[in-house]
Chain A
Amino acid sequence: MPGLTSESDDLAMVPVSPDSQTQPVVIYPLRHGLKSQINRLSISWACGNTLRVSVFPKPPQFDTADGSGDGEAGGGRVVEVKLSNSGDDKEVDAARWRRIAYGSVTPFALLQSRKHSLSAASRMSLDNPPYKAEWWEHVIEYSKEISSLLSDRKPPPRSIIEDPKLVVNEIAEPMCLKAAWELLEIFYVDKQSQSWIPERLLDWLADNNSLFSGTLPTIHSKLVDFQQELGGVQVVEEDPNYWEAMSSALAVGWLETVVKLLRLHGSYRFDQLASRETENGLVEAVAVLIYKMPRMRPSLREENLGECYKTKPDFLKAWEKWRAQISKLDCSSYWFQCDHQQTREGLKILIQIMLGNPSILSNATFNWMELFISHFLYVRPFTAGLESMHNLAKKCMQSKPVSSPHKLFGLILGILGENTEVVLAECSRSFGPWMMAHAVELLTAGSAHAEILLHEEHSKLGGVSIEELHRLVYAQVLSSHALTWQIAPIYLTSCIKQGIGLLENLLYKQPVQHSQILLKSVEICRLYELDTISSNIMRIAGVHHWKHGRKGSGVFWLQQAQDEFRLNRIAKQLFDFMGKSVSDEGFKQWEGLIELLGSESRTAGGLEFLNKYRDFRRSLLQVNGDTPTDAARNAAEALVSLMKNPSTPQRFWLPLLYDSLKLLNWQERLLLNVSQTQLLLNKLQELSMARLRPDFVEADLPSDALSSVRLALATNLGRAILEE
C-alpha cells in the first residue's frame, strides 16, 4: 500500500473520489497510538458509515532476545473512523436530511399499501380506468405531502403595514430539491393542470428564481439590487433602473411587483398631480391594463394579479379584447402631451412587452428560462404539448445561451424532451438517492414510457428493476446512519426481488450488545414476520450476553430463541460455574435465575435441573431435627425425583446425597423404601465407575463424604428390607 512507509505516529487516510477536481479531498486522521512501524493495515466496514481499520505493527523480532518488547509486541490496534457525509449537499444539512427522510416514510408507506390494495382489487394492472383515476388521486396526495415536507420552514409572517418600497418579497427560502420535485409534479402528476402548465411554470419560476441567482444573472437579483437602490432615490421615474426593473418583472409576469412600482411614480404625489395629470393618466392606464391581464388558469394565488379564465374560448375572447385595449392605448394621442421623456419611453416598453415584442422581451430577461416564460405569457399563450414547449425552450436557449447550466435546467430540458433516461440521470446526479427513491412514483404514474423503463427487470442489475434498484440504494443510505437505519426496512420490504435479503443483512449487522437496538431488530422482525431472523438475532444476543458474564440475559434470550441445543450447552457451563455453591450460602444469587427459567412451560433445556434442585433445597431447608416427618418425606421425594431425572448432572449426585444425609438417617421412621434406596445406590455405583475416567471432576466435599453416604444408604436399605 502506498503511503505507508512513513514512520510517524499517525497515519492519514485519503479517500479520493473520481471527481476529485470538484470535491476537495477529505482527510481522516487515525489515532492508533502504535509506536512501532506499521506493517499491515486491514480495512473493513463496521456499522453504518464507520470504517474499521486494524493496524498491525511489525511482528516482534525474535533475535532481540533481551525482551525489550514495548508492551505491544504482536498486538495491533483497531480504530474506527466515522466517514462524515457532510460533503454531499450544502443545501440541506444532515439533521434536515434526516427530517426529510423521517417525514417521507409515512407517505411512501401509505402509497405502497394503496398500490397493493388497488392492484389486488383490479386483479391485474392499474390501467383499468376506474382504478387508474383512483391511483392518480393517491399519487397527487403523495406528491403534495412530500412537497410540503420539503418546505417545512414556515414563511416569516408578512407585515401588516405594507412597505410601499418593498419590491422583493422574500417568502420561504426556496430549495432546489423542492423546486425539482415541483417540476416533476407539474409535468407528471397533476393532470388537472395540464391545460395551464405555462401558468404553473410561471408560478414555479416566481418561487424559485432566486435559486439561479448564484450562478446566473436573474430578474430576481436585478430586483434585489434595485430594491437596495430604491431607498436613496428621490425621483424614481428618472432612474433608468426603475424602468428596467419594471419591464423585467412584467416580462415574467410578476404583475403585482410592476403595479407596486408604477404606483411609486412621481406623478402620483399630491403636489405634482395637478401639473402631471396626463402623465399620471398614462401610468394609471398601464397599471389598469396590467391588472386586467387575462390568465388561463382556474384561480390566482393570493396577491397575484390578473383575471382568470378557465376555458380556452373565454380566455381567447378576453385575450383579444385585452390586446386591442393595449394597441388602442399605444396609439393614443395623449402620449404627445406627456412631457416626461423617461416616463413616455418606459411605459412604451411596458406596452411592447405586453404586446409580445420579441426583441424587447429578450432585452428584459436575463436567462433562457425567463425568456421562455415571457414567450408563454405574451407571444404564444396557447403553447401546449411538450414538443412545442421543448422547441420553444431550445429557441430561447439559442438566444440566451448559458455557460454553466443550473442543475434544474437540465431537469427541465429532460422533462420537456420527454426523455425519461435524462430525467432519471439528472435527478440522480443532482438530487441523490432520496429523490430517486421517491420521485420514481411520480414518473411511473405520469408516463407509460417511464413506467415500462422503470419496472422492467434487468439482468445486469441482478434481475431487479430500476425502480427497485433506487429503493435499494436509498435503503443503503438510510442503513448507514445510526438514526435512520430503522426506517430502511420500509423501503426494503417494498423491493420484491432483493429487499428481504438485504433486510436480513441489515438486521444481522446491528450490534446486539445494545439492548435498545436488539429490541428494535426484534420488533422489525415481528412486523415483517421474519421469525427465523428474529430467533437468530436473539440467539446471537443470548450468546453475547452469556460470554460477557450476564448469564441471566444469556439464558433469557436463548429461551426466547427456543435454542434448546445451546441451552443444554450452557447448562453444563453453568453447573461448572455453580461448582460448590450448589450447597452453600451463595445459592441466594441463583434464585433470580431459577425464577427466570420458570416452570414446565418454557424451554429450559438442561437447566430444568436447577428448578427441581431449588424445590428440593427449599424442602430440605425446612427440615431440621424437630420437623414433622411429612416435610422430611417431601424432601426425600424431591431427592429421589432429582436423582431419577436424566438432566441432573452426574457431578451433583454426590453433593446432593451428602446434603441429604439427615434424610437418610432420619430416626423417627424410614423415608425411602427399598427400590428408592436401590436407585440411589445404583447411582452411587455409577459414580464410582465414572471416577475411573480421566475427565472426572471430584466434588469439593470432605474426604469421607462418599463413605458416609454409602454407609447411610446401606443402613437405610437394611432398615427398609426389615420393614417390608
Chain B
Amino acid sequence: MANLQVHRFPQNHYIDSLRWLPQLSAFQHHIILASFNPESSTSSLQILNTSNQELTFQSSLTIPSRITSLKTSQNPNKPLIVASTFSGSLLLYTADLVNGSLEYLDSVPEKEGFHLGRVNGIDVSENGSEFVSVGEDGRINLVSFVGGGLSYKRVFDSNGLVSYGAVKWASPVEFVSGGLGFGLQWWDQRRPGGPVSQFKANWTHGTTSGIVHSIDIHPSRKHTCLAGGSSGTVFAWDLRWQQQPIMLSGVGIIDLSALSPSESDVWEVQYDNYTTSSNYRNISESRVLPAMICSEDGILAVIEQGEEPVELLAEPCAINSFDIDRQNPSDIVCSLEWESIAILTRS
C-alpha cells in the first residue's frame, strides 16, 4: 500500500460489530458501533463521529441483547440500521446524522417463532426495505419494513438439521446463505421450498472442515459469491461453475498456504473497491475481484487471486469486524478484540 494512515482509539467496552454510516460531508463521517459491556452486561448502539483524526462520541442507546450482526442501508439522509441479536430478535433503528442521534423504529421480538436462539446473520436488500435473517436454529426469515413497521415470513425451516452462519442478498429475489462444512446455499424466492443450489467443500481432506462466517456478492457480478471462514479460508463460488470453487486463501489447501495471510478464522470478507476503482475494467470476467478480510489472528489484508496478499494491519489480537466505506473506499474502520477501534486511510 503506497500510503496508509492508521489511528487507534481505545474504547471501554467490547465491540461486537461496526459500520460506516453514509457520509454527510467531506469532514464528518459517522460510525455505528454495537458494543457490549461485560461489567454491567449491557449492550448498546453508539454513534461516533470522526473528523480530523479524532473520534468523538455522539449518542448511544441501550439495546435489549447483544448484537450478532449489524447492517446499514445507504439512504444518505436517514440510514436504516438493522441488527440481529443473540436472543433471536431483529432490531431496526434509524440514525439522524445531522444531530448524530439514534431512533428506534421497530423490532421483531424473539419468542414469536421468528428465530430460536442466535440469529447469526442478516442482510439488507439494495432498496433498504427487505432484510433476510438466518439463524443457528436453521430458520431463514424474510423481514419487510413497510408502512413504518416490520413484518416477517418464514422462507425455510430446517428444524435444526442445518445451522446457518451468514447471509447475503444476490438480487432482489435471490440470496446466499452459508454455514457449517464450508457449505453455501443459493436461494431463489421464485422457487420456494429449499435452496436452488448447494455447494459443499470437498477440498478439505482428512477430518477437519470449517464454517463460513461471512459472505459478499459484488453488484457487478451477481453470479459469484465470496465466502470466508475457518482456517483462513476464502473462496469464490461461481454459479456457472458450481463444482469448482475458486480458492483464494486457506491453510488446508495445497499451493495456497504460502499465499494465505491468515491461519485462523476469517471473520469478515468484503470486496475491496478501492484497488479496483482505477483499473476496474482490466480485471477479466473470470478473475475474482480483490477482497479484504479480517481474521482471528489479527490480520486485515487485501487478497487477490494468485497474488501476494497486501497486509494492512497485523495486530496482536483478533480483528472482529471491519467496514469499507462505500462512497469513499479508501476509508476503513475495524474493531479490535482488545476493546479498540482502528481507522485506516489509504492514499
Chain A residues in contact with chain B, CB under 8 A?
A: 82, 84, 94-95, 98-99, 102, 105-106, 481-483, 486, 515, 519-520, 523, 526, 545, 548-553, 556, 559-560, 562, 588-593, 595-596, 598-599, 601-603
In the complex, chain B residues whose CB is within 8 Å of the CB of A603: 207
User: A599 to chain B: which residues have CB within 8 Å?
Assistant: 202
Residue pairs across A and B with Cβ atoms less than 8 A apart, 7 shown, are A82-B41, A483-B14, A515-B136, A552-B138, A552-B163, A589-B158, A602-B209
B65 at the interface (CB under 8 A from A): no
- Contact (Cβ within 8 A) B183 A602: no
When the two chains form their complex, are residues A595 and B198 in contact, meaning their CB atoms are under 8 A apart?
yes
Contact B181 A99, beta carbon cutoff 8 Å: no
**Is the beta-carbon distance between B137 and A550 smaller than 8 angstroms?**
yes
CA distance A391 to B137 in the complex (A): 73
Q: How far is the CA of A334 from the CA of B31 in the complex (A)?
A: 70
Q: Is the CB of B41 within 8 A of A550?
A: no
Residue contact B208 to A560, C-beta cutoff 8 Å: yes
Q: How far is the CB of A534 from chain B (nearest CB, A)?
A: 10
By a CB distance below 8 angstroms, the chain B residues around A598 are 181, 200, 202, 209
A149 vs chain B, min Cβ distance (A): 12
How many of chain B's residues touch chain A, expressed as a range? 35 or more
Contacts of A550 in B (CB 8 A): 117, 136-138, 160, 163
Closest chain-A Cβ to B180's Cβ sits at a distance in Å of: 4
Q: Which of A523, A559, A596 contacts B296 (CB 8 A)?
A: A523
Of the listed residues A106, A523, A548, A595, the one surrounded by the most CB atoms of chain B closer than 10 A to its CB is A595
Kindly state the separation between the CA atoms of A592 and B230 in the bound complex, as whole angstroms. 19
Please tell me if the beta carbons of A519 and B180 are within 8 angstroms of each other in the complex: no
In B182-208, the 8 Å CB interface with A consists of 183, 185, 193-195, 198, 200, 202, 204-208
**Which 10 pairs show the lowest CB-CB distances between chains A and B?**
A592-B162, A95-B12, A102-B338, A482-B38, A593-B161, A552-B162, A556-B180, A596-B181, A549-B160, A550-B160
Q: Please, what's the 1-or-0 string for B290-307, where 1 marks a CB less than 8 Å from any CB in chain A?
A: 000000100000000000
Judge whether B200 and A105 touch: CB under 8 Å: no
| Chain B CB within 10 A, most for which of A106, A556, A559 | A556
Residues of B near A559 (CB, < 8 A) are 207, 209
Partner of B200, one of A549, A552, A595: A595
Question: DSSP class of A's interface residues: helix, strand, loop or mixed?
Answer: helix
Contact B207 A553 (CB under 8 A): no
User: CB within 8 Å of A: which of B1-59?
Assistant: 10, 12-14, 38-39, 41
Q: Say yes or no: A560 contacts B207, CB within 8 Å.
A: yes
Q: Say whether A551 contacts B265, CB under 8 Å.
A: no
Contact: A523 with B209, CB < 8 Å? no
Task: For the complex, give the distance between the alpha carbons of A598 and B202 in Å.
Answer: 8
Cross-chain contact of B207 among A519, A548, A552, A562 (Cβ < 8 A):
A562
CB distance from A509 to the nearest CB of B (A): 16
List chain A residues, Cβ under 8 A from B138: 550, 552, 592
Question: Which chain A residue has the least Cβ–Cβ distance from B297?
Answer: A523
Partner of B10, one of A99, A520, A602: A99
Instruction: With CB as the reference atom, state the residue of chain A lying closest to B86.
Output: A514
Given A99-B339, A550-B163, A553-B136 in contact, is the A591-B183 Cβ separation under 8 Å?
A: no
- Within the assembled complex, what's the spacing in Å between the Cα atoms of A482 and B337? 12
In the complex, how many angstroms separate the beta carbon of B294 from the nearest chain A beta carbon? 14
A519-B296, A596-B180 are contacts. A552–B185 as well, Cβ < 8 Å?
no
Q: Does B347 contact A (CB under 8 A)?
A: no
Q: Which of B161, B200, B316 has the most CB of A within 10 A?
A: B161
Asked if B99 lies at the interface with its beta carbon under 8 angstroms from chain A, I say no
Contact A106–B209 (Cβ < 8 Å): no
- List the B side residues contacting A98 at CB < 8 Å: 338-339
Q: Is there an interface contact between B339 and A483, defined as CB atoms closer than 8 Å?
A: yes
The answer to whether B159 has its CB under 8 Å from any CB of chain A is: yes
Contact with A along B307-347 (1 / 0, CB 8 A): 00000000011000000000000000000011100000000
Establish whether residues A95 and B339, one from each chain, have CB atoms under 8 Å apart when the complex forms.
Answer: yes
B118: which of A515, A592, A602 is its contact (CB, 8 Å)? A515
